[in-house]
Amino acid sequence: MADAAQWISGARLRTLPLALAPVLIGTGAAIGSLGGFTAFILDDISGKDDHVSFGQILLRGFLALLVSLCLQIGSNYANDYSDGIRGTDDERVGPVRLTATGLAEPHEVKRAAFVFFGLAGVAGIVLILISQAWWFLVVGAAAVAAAWFYTGGRRPYGYMGLGEVFVFVFFGLVATLGTMWMQVGHLSLSGWAGAVAIGSLASAVLMVNNLRDIPTDIEAGKITLAVRMGDNAARITYAVLVLLPFALLALAILDGHPAVALAILALVPALNPLKTVLSGTTGPGLIPPIKSTGLTGLAFSALMGLGLAL
């Protein structure tokens, strides 16, 4: 029976920085669209009621963060369950696999996944009640379905090379733009730039993870995008996904937010994983770049979000 530490490891905490990232950028873009942090606070103090208050921004941001984190953890447990019962994880390196190793019964892991999906749903419904954006119920249901069917169901899209596409859409575009919309009810060019940037970095995390697993995925019949592309092309694609966000900062600068140039500092934690991946490292040697890429995404989003809000 799995202990608490093994359940925590099975939640794959290294993936959580990129669940926080879209909320940081979405909230920063929301504040920036209202004139920036200083103007926003002054308006709030003066009692202007033509936009949401700072307290509402914090509450909605917190709820959006709960949704994102719970969806990510639920997705990780769902992946553990589905890959485990298929035998895909039998020879996998990396964090503990609860189902494949027999540390937990499959139904227990599945239940954990749906507990976190349920928590995401509760937080999402509260957020919808506050914002009155009822059409987000459809978006939320689609996000849960995407999290489950990545490796779940009869025809999981993660086994057809579509994982990075769905990660880009849901953990990039939907999470970032959804956060901004729930805050202020509109979108901006800077918000779109941040959404594409975080979607790219989230896809990079999955790409390097799947690059590591190419040999075992081929053996298990799991056709990821990395398997389809081949080793060399997957490494180049990873580099493009990591570097693209820094080019997108130009759009936010043109949109009137020069302070987003701060996010260039996130290149520092990006250098080591880029060097490791492009040098041809394989197997367990690709585990550190997974974590480092996630931290790059967190640093980028924190700095870009701050730059947007200033």
Q: Note the helical H segments in 105-172.
A: 106-131, 136-149, 163-168
Could you tell me the end-to-end alpha-carbon distance of the chain, in angstroms, rounded to an integer? 49
- Looking at residue 231, what is its pLDDT? 95
Q: How many CA atoms lie within 13 A of 76 on its CB side?
A: 23
- Looking at residue 246, what is its pLDDT? 98
Q: Are 60 and 127 in contact (CB under 8 A)?
A: yes
Q: How many CA atoms lie within 13 A of 243 on its CB side?
A: 10
CA–CA dist 193, 250 (Å, integer): 9
Q: Are 5 and 166 in contact (CB under 8 A)?
A: no
CA–CA dist 70, 17 (Å, integer): 12
Tokens encoding 85: 């019962």
Q: What tens-digit pLDDT sequence spans the chain (310 residues)?
A: 777 888 888 888 888 888 999 999 999 999 998 888 777 666 655 555 556 777 888 899 999 999 999 999 999 999 889 888 887 655 555 567 788 888 888 899 999 999 999 999 999 999 999 988 888 999 999 999 999 999 888 889 988 999 999 999 999 999 999 999 999 999 999 999 999 999 999 999 999 999 999 998 898 888 999 999 999 999 999 999 999 999 999 999 999 999 999 999 999 999 999 999 999 999 999 999 999 999 999 999 999 999 999 8
- Looking at residue 206, what is its pLDDT? 94
- Looking at residue 259, what is its pLDDT? 96
- Looking at residue 220, what is its pLDDT? 81
